[in-house]
Amino acid sequence: MQHPVSGENELTPRGPVDASVVPRFAGIATFPRLDEVERAEVAVAGIPFDSGVSYRPGARFGPSHVREASRLLRPYNPAQDVSPFAAQQVADAGDIVANPFDISAAVAEIEAGARALRANADRLVIIGGDHTIALPLLREVASVHGPVAVLHFDAHLDTWDTYFGAPTTHGTPFRRASEEGLIDMTASMHVGIRGPLYDKSDLEDDERLGFAVITSEYLETHGVASAIERMHARIGDKALYISIDIDVLDPAHAPGTGTPEAGGMTSRELLRMLRALAGFRIVGADVVEVAPAYDHAQLTAVAASHVVYELLSAMAPRPTGIRTPEGDRA
């Protein structure tokens, strides 16, 4: 995601600089800015907001941390056989500003900011920030596409009702989204759920709100291929919004997060599942809860930047049928 190279043809997407020409440690850690291109198929934006966290703060610094780690990325993705920055115009839209002292005001600002960005971009990939931001992002997406299938990678359900009486926090966005009719209740799913709950009724509430669940234990017992089959069957051909809390990964792979849980996915497992979404109708995505203060040697940021890269690759158009690790999709 480094700074741009100029193309001779304006119709040719502008992509990252060649790291064999300009050292990765030089320059600004971003690809072309949205104001440097006429329009983008995908805009990547940060939302440095973490006032909705219930434990460790710091995800407000996540967007810049992930951008910095993105210097390691290269333009061709062999796992998906696509060059995501050449197949589509991807641009960095900077950060959406959100009030750090007033969650209600911040939610309104995030929704308005996302809507404004979509005037110059077809789809958004957002780097958070805490998971509170998923609610206003889903409001904006649903205003265009109607109720969407939500594929939610996380250690936690995030369908609780309130925290300390507050209805909008990083633990409640998908309950509010379901209640507001933003999600397709026949096609939505959590992946990677694990760890203790407050009560067994948490699972009953979650099912009532429209989510199927692939737990971390299921992945261990049945494997990623079986989980991908369930994921494909659940989503079908619905418009798909992907929301990824980096704590879906085990703390060994992503220590820099606010509410870590033991027994999570490996980064390899998560990336494989994202690659299996190439060819689906992805209308937006977010990657949240990267908290740099708890990171070590950029482990979490490197994982998150590769997650964004695989999302961009899965969203890239293919001129013919594409092949995922699990088989062919037209």
Q: What are the pLDDT digits (tens) for 206-242?
A: 999 999 999 999 999 999 999 999 999 999 999 999 9
Q: Given this model, what pLDDT does residue 328 score? A: 39
Model confidence at 1: pLDDT above 50: no
Determine the angle formed by the axes of helices 267-275 and 299-315, rounding to 10 degrees. 10
pLDDT of residue 12: 86
Q: What is the pLDDT of residues 25-84, one digit of tens each?
A: 877 777 788 989 989 999 999 999 999 999 999 999 999 999 999 999 999 999 999 999
DSSP 3-state of 165 = coil
The DSSP letter of residue 294 is G
Mean per-residue pLDDT for 4-10?
A: 40
CB-count exposure of residue 115 (10 Å: 0-12, 13-18, 19+): middle
d(CA 30, CA 27): 9
In this model, does residue 8 exceed pLDDT 50? no
Mean of the per-residue pLDDT values of the chain: 92
Angle, helices 103-117 vs 134-145, to 10°: value is 40
C-alpha to C-alpha distances, 63 to 48, 69, 101, 202, 231, nearest whole angstrom: 6, 10, 19, 31, 28
Q: Which of 144, 52, 43 is nearest to 95 (CA)?
A: 43
The mean pLDDT value for 122-132 works out to: 98
pLDDT tens-digit series, residues 247-296 = 999 999 999 999 999 999 999 999 999 999 999 999 999 999 999 999 99
Does residue 153 carry a pLDDT above 80?
yes
Tell whether the model's pLDDT for residue 121 goes beyond 90: yes
Q: Please tell me whether the overall predicted TM-score, pTM, comes out greater than 0.85 for this model.
A: yes
pLDDT band of 243, cuts 50, 70, 90: very high
Q: Could you tell me where the DSSP H helices lie in the chain?
A: 62-69, 84-87, 103-117, 134-145, 173-179, 201-208, 216-222, 224-235, 267-275, 299-315
